[in-house]
């Protein structure tokens, strides 16, 4: 038994060692990727549920290594850990603002918003809103077309600091959404304290909406709280026609998910919006 125990310990050790080595490897490659700007944005549409029109696109980062796509869940946590997230966010913000400024002169795209994901590490940096003010100066577009998605844990990790930052962002005209709402350390106190515009209902509640009465009650409660506070409600992870119909009946404003469209490269998504392709 002792021997087995020892072997098991070694096995665990080896697995841990492998994880550490992999993270070190990814960190080195990430530093290169940042220098070479090897990141791409995919975009997923959000529709207005009543009109069924695409009103906003969420930018989702992909790391392109020689044509092979690496998904954010694999490298964003490492980037946050190793202090590299700021540079990646700069890259994403730059691409998003450039795209918005290109649409500014185009009749059919000029009202489309772009939402980007912001890490808790980004928002805690002192000059975060100054960075955005700088981008708004450099690129010409309506600031309310830029939306930042933040998770609850990002918001409450440094509430006092974040409160100021969000007030500055509001003054700049930028919109802020709470992502994955209901899954973090939810507290209604921060809804009272912070300047935000949208709640994104987490896809775990949407997935269970039609089969679990508790999930339905949670979704309806989130919609009601949001509405009472004057916030816009966005449901993510909409995978079926019946999800969309139910969310419509429940008073949700916007929807996003595979049922509507998967994330696509921008050129493909623009074809989807203009009816030239299906999803
Ligand atoms: P998220 O912000 O919650 O983004 C939604 C994720 O759900 C995306 O995965 C999207 O492809 C996926 N998704 C969309 N519709 C559906 C659906 O109907 N069903 C299911 N099961 N999934 C759906 P993705 O692109 O792999 O991104 C994963 C996470 O990585 C994001 O979760 C976000 O937290 C983070 N992320 C993505 N891009 C960035 C970025 O530029 N910066 C930062 N800091 N984080 C990012
Ligand atoms: Ca998001
Ligand atoms: Ca989300
Ligand atoms: Ca998520």
Q: What is the pLDDT of residues 50-81, one digit of tens each?
A: 999 999 999 999 999 888 999 999 999 999 99
In this prediction, residues 195-202 reach a mean pLDDT of 97
Say how many Å lie between the CA of residue 59 and the centre of ligand 2.
8
CA distances for 266 relative to 41, 94, 164, 252, 263, angstroms: 8, 15, 33, 26, 9
Say how many Å lie between the CA of residue 69 and the centre of ligand 4.
19
d(CA 31, CA 42): 21
d(CA 70, CA 61): 9
> Are residues 227 and 245 in contact, defined by beta-carbon separation less than 8 angstroms?
no
Residue 8 has pLDDT above 80, yes or no: no
The pLDDT assigned to 7 comes to 60
Ligand nearest to the CA of 119: 1
d(CA 243, CA 216): 11
- Helix or strand run (H / E) with residue 62: strand 54-65
Phi-psi region of 121 (alpha: psi -120 to 50; beta: other; left: phi over 0): alpha
| pTM: predicted TM-score of the whole model, two decimal places | 0.94
In this prediction, residues 126-151 reach a mean pLDDT of 96
The pLDDT assigned to 9 comes to 61
Ligand nearest to the CA of 59: 1
Substitution candidate for ligand 1 out of 117, 128, 152, 206 with most atoms within 8 A of CB:
117
d(CA 76, CA 266): 21
d(CA 235, CA 247): 8
Ligand nearest to the CA of 41: 1
Q: Please identify, by atom number, the ligand 1 atom nearest to the C-alpha of residue 119.
A: 44
Interface confidence, given as ipTM, is 0.98
The pLDDT assigned to 11 comes to 67
d(CA 274, CA 260): 14
Phi-psi region of 210 (alpha: psi -120 to 50; beta: other; left: phi over 0): alpha
Q: Is the CB of 257 under 6 A from ligand 1?
A: yes
Q: What is the pLDDT of residues 209-232, one digit of tens each?
A: 999 999 999 999 999 999 999 999
Residue 1's pLDDT band (cuts 50, 70, 90): very low
Residue 277 has pLDDT above 70, yes or no: yes
The pLDDT assigned to 268 comes to 96
Say how many Å lie between the CA of residue 200 and the centre of ligand 3.
7
In this prediction, residues 177-201 reach a mean pLDDT of 91
Token pair of 3 as six digits? 């021997």
Phi-psi region of 123 (alpha: psi -120 to 50; beta: other; left: phi over 0): alpha
Residue 6 has pLDDT above 80, yes or no: no
- Which residues, in sequence order, are CB contacts of 267 under 8 Å at separation 6+? none
Say how many Å lie between the CA of residue 257 and the centre of ligand 3.
10
Residue 10's pLDDT band (cuts 50, 70, 90): low
């Amino acid at each position: 038994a002792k021997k087995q125990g020892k072997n098991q310990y070694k096995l665990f050790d080896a697995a841990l060692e492998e994880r550490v080595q992999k993270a070190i490897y990814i960190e080195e490659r990430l530093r290169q990727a940042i220098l070479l700007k090897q990141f791409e944005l995919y975009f997923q549409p959000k529709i207005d549920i009543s009109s069924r029109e695409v009103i906003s696109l969420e930018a989702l980062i992909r790391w392109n290594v020689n044509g092979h796509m690496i998904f954010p869940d694999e490298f964003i946590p490492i980037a946050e850990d190793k202090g590299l997230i700021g540079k990646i966010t700069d890259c994403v913000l730059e691409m998003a603002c450039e795209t918005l400024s290109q649409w500014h002169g185009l009749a059919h795209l000029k009202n489309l918003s772009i939402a980007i994901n912001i890490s808790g590490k980004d928002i805690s940096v002192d000059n975060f809103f100054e960075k955005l003010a700088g981008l708004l100066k450099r690129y010409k577009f309506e600031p309310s077309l830029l939306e930042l998605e933040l998770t609850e844990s990002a918001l409450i990790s440094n509430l006092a600091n974040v409160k100021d930052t969000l007030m500055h962002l509001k003054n700049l005209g930028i919109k802020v959404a709470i992502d994955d709402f209901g899954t973090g350390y939810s507290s209604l106190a921060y809804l009272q304290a912070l300047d935000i515009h949208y709640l994104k209902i987490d896809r775990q509640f949407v997935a269970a909406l039609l089969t679990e009465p508790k999930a339905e009650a949670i979704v309806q409660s989130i919609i009601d709280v949001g509405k009472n506070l004057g916030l816009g409600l966005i449901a993510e992870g909409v995978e079926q026609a019946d999800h969309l119909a139910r969310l419509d009946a429940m008073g949700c404003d916007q929807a996003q998910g595979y049922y509507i469209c998967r994330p696509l490269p921008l050129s493909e998504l623009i074809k989807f919006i203009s009816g030239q392709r299906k999803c």
